């Protein structure tokens, strides 16, 4: 989850999601926008909470104007991320506001229908859609269950780590979407639930990637898709 703190003036303070001295933090560099990336798979490091009933992730974000001391105008924000998109609850203050720059949603599909429950061994499609006009490229994707079991599905360049398990992502520039095929849904021992998470990179122009013509092997939508490899 990527959060942006926008301030009225240059920000040189600290933003952190767990302990002040933890790795899950961002230091202001004098800009009016400061980004903090909170990995949803690392529950302990960033103190991320997951509610399986609502399928919602939540985290407490602390925004301090000074990197060392605590001031009265410092604020605490409660952020959540769910299927309906990101939300934030905060104490209003002109010093800072938190905004999600754009909304990206990932869903699992079977025969073009979005589903919320999967069956072990069945094939599915992972699809990521953006409501913005900027181009994006998928980077790292993981499957995980609990706090200790995880599997990397794509590398940092968004390429499949196991072509027998998942295809490379295919891009539809007209729909601002990308999708990959999961050839057989997997599971982790002693877990009945699996979570899929992908990180994306937003590009100011067209994202650089090598494109080839898509064949029916990868997707039921061969018209406008490009494959990155």
pLDDT digits (tens, 9 = 90+) for 75-90: 888 887 765 544 444 4
Mean of pLDDT values over 5-26: 81
- Span of 135-139, 175-179, 199-203, 208-212 with lowest mean pLDDT: 208-212
User: What is the model's pLDDT at position 91?
Assistant: 42
CA 202-34-204 angle, 5° bins: 25
Q: In the predicted model, is pLDDT for residue 38 greater than 90? A: no
User: What is the model's pLDDT at position 217?
Assistant: 29
Average pLDDT, the chain: 75
Over the range 190-229, which residues count as b (16 or more CB within 10 Å of their CB) and which as e?
A: eeeebbbbbbbeeeeeebebeeeebeeebbebeeebbbbe
Mean of pLDDT values over 28-45: 80
User: What is the model's pLDDT at position 21?
Assistant: 59
User: What is the model's pLDDT at position 168?
Assistant: 93
Q: In the predicted model, is pLDDT for residue 61 greater than 60? A: yes
User: What is the model's pLDDT at position 147?
Assistant: 65
- Span of 97-111, 113-127, 211-225 with lowest mean pLDDT: 211-225
Q: In the predicted model, is pLDDT for residue 104 greater than 80? A: no
Q: In the predicted model, is pLDDT for residue 180 greater than 90? A: yes
Beta strand residue intervals within the chain, DSSP E: 2-11, 14-16, 25-27, 31-37, 49-51, 56-64, 75-82, 85-90, 96-99, 104-110, 113-115, 124-130, 135-145, 149-154, 170-172, 177-182, 195-203, 226-227
**3-state DSSP assignment of residue 43:** helix
User: What is the model's pLDDT at position 216?
Assistant: 26
User: What is the model's pLDDT at position 41?
Assistant: 65
**3-state DSSP assignment of residue 39:** coil
Q: In the predicted model, is pLDDT for residue 215 greater than 50? A: no
34 vs 227, residue with greater confidence: 34
Q: In the predicted model, is pLDDT for residue 174 greater than 50? A: yes
160 vs 175, residue with greater confidence: 160
pLDDT bracket for residue 22 (50, 70, 90)? low
């Amino acid at each position: 989850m990527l959060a942006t703190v926008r301030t009225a003036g240059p920000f040189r303070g600290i933003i952190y999601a767990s302990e002040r001295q933890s790795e899950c933090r961002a230091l202001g560099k004098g800009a009016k926008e400061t980004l903090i990336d909170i990995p949803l798979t690392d529950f302990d490091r960033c103190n991320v909470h997951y509610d399986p009933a609502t399928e919602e992730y939540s985290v407490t974000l602390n925004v301090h104007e000074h990197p060392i001391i605590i001031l009265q105008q410092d604020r605490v924000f409660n952020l959540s991320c769910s299927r309906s998109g990101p939300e934030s609850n905060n104490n209003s203050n002109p010093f800072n506001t938190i905004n999600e720059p754009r909304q990206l949603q990932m869903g699992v599909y079977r025969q073009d229908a979005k589903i919320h429950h999967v069956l072990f061994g069945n094939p599915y499609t992972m699809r990521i859609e953006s409501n913005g006009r900027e181009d994006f490229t998928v980077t790292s994707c993981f499957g995980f269950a609990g706090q200790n079991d995880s599997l990397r599905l794509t590398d940092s360049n968004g390429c499949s780590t196991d072509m027998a398990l998942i295809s490379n992502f295919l891009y539809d520039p007209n729909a601002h979407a990308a999708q990959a095929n999961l050839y057989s849904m997997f599971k982790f021992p002693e877990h009945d639930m699996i979570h899929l998470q992908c990180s994306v990179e937003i590009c100011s122009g067209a994202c650089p990637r090598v494109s080839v013509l898509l064949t029916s092997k990868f997707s039921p939508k061969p018209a406008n898709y490009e494959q990155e490899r």
